[in-house]
Chains A and B, each alone.
Chain A
Amino acid sequence: MADKPRVISIAAEPEGGAATVSLYTSGATIHPRAVHGLFAAWRWALVWVTQIVFYGLPWLTWNARPAILFDLASRRFYIFNLVLYPQDFIFLTGLLILSAYSLFLFTAVAGRLWCGYACPQTVYTEIFMWVEHHLEGDRTARIRLDASSWNANKLLRRGGKHLVWATIGLWTGFTFVGYFTPIRVLGASLLSFGLGPWELFWVLFYGFATYGNAGFMREQVCKYMCPYARFQSAMFDHDTLIISYDEKRGEPRGGRARTADKAAIGLGDCVDCLLCVQVCPTGIDIRKGLQYECIGCAACIDVCNGMMDRVEYPRGLIRYATQRSLDEGGEPLTLRRVLRPRVLVYTSVLLLIGGAFAVSLALRPPLRVDVVRDRGSLARLVDEGRIENVYRLQVMNATEATQRYRFAVGGIAGALASTRGETVLAPAEARWVPLAVQISAEQARSLGPGVHKIVFQITREAGDGESEVTVDERSTFVVPR
């Protein structure tokens, strides 16, 4: 593109006339060549880490239950020691905000690290391509197989591949549902063909989604579906690490004899072997510069470095570089360049939210209370002219032990709270506790009619090895006219 002079066409039809074409085409299948090297090793490391966590976590047992269990039916979310209620949704929000800011930070500094190494789409594609590579062979063999007519060999290889893919997909779906139904129970009901209709649906749905996305859709997910790919231009600047082809060093490209002196024949370092194009999972030519399709997987770096080694040129014709380092020379990631305002802002916001998240999680009380004024009556007059208001307290036991609670009320001197009987809650139980608050006639007179502030103190009584915990919850007390 750069070598052509820029032509500014003014809507007039150029010679040759206009053709009518379809706006939809069936894309050609991309057969990436297998690649080895430093960055491929990194990707495989992340495949292992993420998948051990994903496939392993549901099997982990904690307090005689799954360590991670999102029990949607009873709306309790167990994460190791934590028992979360839907009211704790703010923590999920916090987690998502943290993820988003981490993504922004990593991307601003080092580009699409997430896409290239850790995104499930990349990770599962990597696994599926590994299967493909071992059953159908590498790029050329697969292209040949694609073109060949159906025979026993093709049937066996293709069928085997799809069988393995489907197995991985179904196992993924099974694992995913295992986060919502205890996976051992799920496994037992699977073996006895007793899966519930929704469990079966989600196992199949996630199985199919994994099979389809990692087996067939692949780069199309990144190119046409993923919103993250679409706002990369807002994430990048001149100091962001991107996978770059060093045009100054590489051009003019061209094949040459092993012994040729490149200076003498006027060629750059690029031997035009096309390996970088063949390994690219999105099928682009990185030598055309940064493109939105580039997911930053660095496969082209690995393969190009291998080729440079073979032809005994220095490595790094394709490398992680910043736009500035390519234009002006010098190291891409200098401290001065990394610590630019946007990075500092992302970092401080991330630290701030991360800190707040950790502190609020650590200080989270083992009970939760919502106070709701009784909807039936505002206030009522009881014996000796005393004024009574009725409340409902939803007490939520956020622990896995039976707990005893007591209630007190403050804010109005002499106010008395009464409940019927004891409040004892089973593990992770939530219950509405009706509670009446009375004040004396004199107190009511001195307060005057209207709405007054009161504070409920809900105390989780000391249990074995646990100290008392009191939670304050504000409400109002109505004195009628």
Chain B
Amino acid sequence: MSDFVSSGWSVFVAAITVVSLLACLALLVGASRRKVMAGDNTTGHVWDGDLRELNNPLPRWWAILFVLTVIFAGVYLVLYPGLGSFSGQLKWSEDGQYQAEMKKAEAELAPLYAGFSGMTPQALAGDPKARAIGERLFVNNCAPCHGSDARGSVGFPNLTDNDWLWGGTPEDIVKTITNGRVGNMPPIAAAVGSAEDVRNVANYVLSLSGSPHNNVAAELGKAKFVVCAACHGPEGKGNTAIGAPNLTDKIWLHGFGEETVVRAVTQGWHNEMPAQAGRLSEAQIRVLGAYVWSLSQSTAPAAVAR
């Protein structure tokens, strides 16, 4: 009822509900008696010349059922929300039920997770039961962005390689999942210089990883890399403390090539990993973190030949 600002609507709806219920009852009583033509026990209705309606009374319990539905409706409306904005004597609400069910589920899961609490992330990653839970948690919570196979997509990091924006220890991963991360690359073309300078520095960046680039431009851009080095480090190795990517490997979060790097320098990037603390419990995050960590430990996924 939050759509209606005035309480008048609530009263209006409640009044309609009550009047309708009473009208049902009145109709029931009113229509329960009928004029019957005396003598032949028919109602006097005739169709098709000779088809007559016999008075064939229903059992009384049938009528009582009708009355019971009206009584049920009355009791329901007193106990549960339904009468305008009246929230009912039981104070039931969808949200309350959700919270209660979550609480119940948590209580049921507590002993399961209690068994995991003493285990190190490495031990958790090796435990088949914990892994299975971690996998389910991943598929339900992480896969929408990072992909079902955790290998990410453009803009969403691959979690199965050894390249970590914010650090790849189990503790780092748990921190990332719990609090989320905000990666911000500011547009710094102005600090770099002209459009030409930006192109040159882009080529220098590509040269760091041995990706295809223009040698001359890269040489010219080297000096301008100081601007980038503030975050990515003088050697372009990145900085996991602030989520600055390593530029010397061939892993490109936002795509590959000169144009993409130029775009990053001129327009910047803003990436966000949402915090999961409100959605997952601490125990769940530990299990999930260990699972994610384990993904980067076995390097090559087992390829199955045809």
Q: Which A residues are closer than 8 A to B by beta carbons?
A: 6-11, 13-27, 220, 224, 374-377, 380-381, 388, 390-392, 406-410, 416-422, 431-432, 434-436
Contacts and interface: CB of A to CB of B under 8 A. Distances in A.
B306 A419 contact: no
A25 B59 contact: yes
A420 B150 CA distance: 10
A327 B45 CA distance: 32
B302 A422 contact: yes
A21 B34 CA distance: 6
Contacts of B46: 8-11
Nearest to A373: B148
A407 B156 CA distance: 27
Contacts of B44: 9, 11, 13, 18
Given A9-B52, A376-B144, A420-B302, 5 more contacts: A9-B44, A11-B45, A23-B32, A224-B58, A374-B147
Contact of B149 (A6, A16, A390, A409): A390
Contact of B40 (A14, A422, A431): A14
The 10 closest A-B pairs by CB, nearest first: A434-B148, A377-B153, A16-B38, A434-B149, A26-B60, A25-B57, A24-B63, A18-B35, A418-B303, A24-B60
Given A10-B46, A24-B60, A408 B156 contact: no
B37 A13 contact: yes
Interface in B87-112: none
Interface of B is mostly: mixed
Contacts of B5: none
B301 A419 contact: yes
Q: Which of B31, B39, B149, B305 has the most chain A CB atoms closer than 10 A to its own CB? A: B149
Contacts of B301: 418-421, 436
> Which of A18, A390, A410, A420 is the most central at the interface, judged by chain B CB atoms within 10 Å of its CB?
A420
B49 to A, nearest CB: 6
A421 B291 CA distance: 13
A392 B148 CA distance: 7
Interface centre among B32, B40, B143, B256, by most chain A C-beta atoms within 10 angstroms, is B143
Given A9-B42, A24-B62, A422-B302, A436 B57 contact: no
Contacts of B33: 20-23
Interface string B128-154: 000010011001000111111111011
B147 A390 contact: yes
B216 interface: no
B302 A419 contact: yes
B298 interface: yes
A27 B304 contact: no
Contacts of B253: none
A24 B32 contact: yes
